Homo-oligomer: A and B are copies of this chain.
Amino acid sequence: MKKCIVLFSGGIDSTTALYWALNQFGRVYALTFDYGQRHRIEVLMAKKITRKLNVPHKILFFDLKQIGGSSLTDDKIALPEFKRIDDIEGTPPSTYVPFRNGIFLALAASWGEANDIRKIVTGFNIIDSPDYPDTKKEFVEVMENAINVGTASSFGANKFKILAPFVNMKKSEIIKMGLSLRADYSYSISCYAGKEIPCKKCSSCLLRQKAWEELGLKDHLILRLEKEGKI
């Protein structure tokens, strides 16, 4: 049976990747990193999503606060707030966590090698967030190569493959694809500020809001929070 790992943060992109993978693979394992992120609530919500979908879920704890260098992993660096999406700046922005996806893919490859799984599905995309270096197609390709050279795959035919099916899609297109796969985004968290209720000021909130607006639809998360009387 075809099996894969999905890098699953619980955000919009990786939630779509999870539904995409469930449609493509016979056995899907969600892999989430509890890395000391400011918005750690995403890990708890990710757990809710995999439980509802009955998907095996591995949570790895690696505290990147030991490294810092980002407003997501160092509380002394303020989280940037913006009024409008066009105000988002920084190449990379302070919310970039140094080489985070390199670390995540290295750990995913390690866990995959230990468990004989060599397909890694990601929700990486670059169109709406071009200032993050570690989500682009070229990075996926060179990292896949590094993994195949530096693991036991270098001795045999059983190669790793990193899939990034949305890499050149806008966020609204990613949501659209998710909706066609009947994705439920009610528990998907994007906000960097760390609360269940979106702050509407961080770059991640603004990008998510814009994507749903482009589709002319109301965000599943907002619908749920309204229903529960939380907003």
* Oligomer: number of copies: 2
Instruction: Tell whether A54 is near chain B: CB-to-CB under 8 Å.
Output: no
| Among candidates B68, B98, B145, residue contacting A146 with C-beta atoms closer than 8 Å | B145
Whether the pair A150, B139 counts as a contact (CB closer than 8 A) is: yes
Whether A115 and B151, one on each chain, are in contact in the complex, defined by CB atoms closer than 8 angstroms, is no
**A76-109: which residues lie under 8 A (CB-CB) from chain B?**
91-92, 96-103, 105-107, 109
Q: Chain A: how many interface residues by the 8 Å CB criterion?
A: 46
- Nearest residue (CB) in B for A113 is B98
Q: Across the interface, do B101 and A150 meet the contact criterion of CB distance under 8 Å?
A: yes
Q: Let me know if A13 is at the binding interface, CB within 8 A.
A: no
Which A residues are within 8 Å of any B CB, using their own CB?
Answer: 60-64, 66-70, 91-92, 96-103, 105-107, 109-111, 113-115, 133-134, 136, 138-139, 142-143, 145-147, 149-155
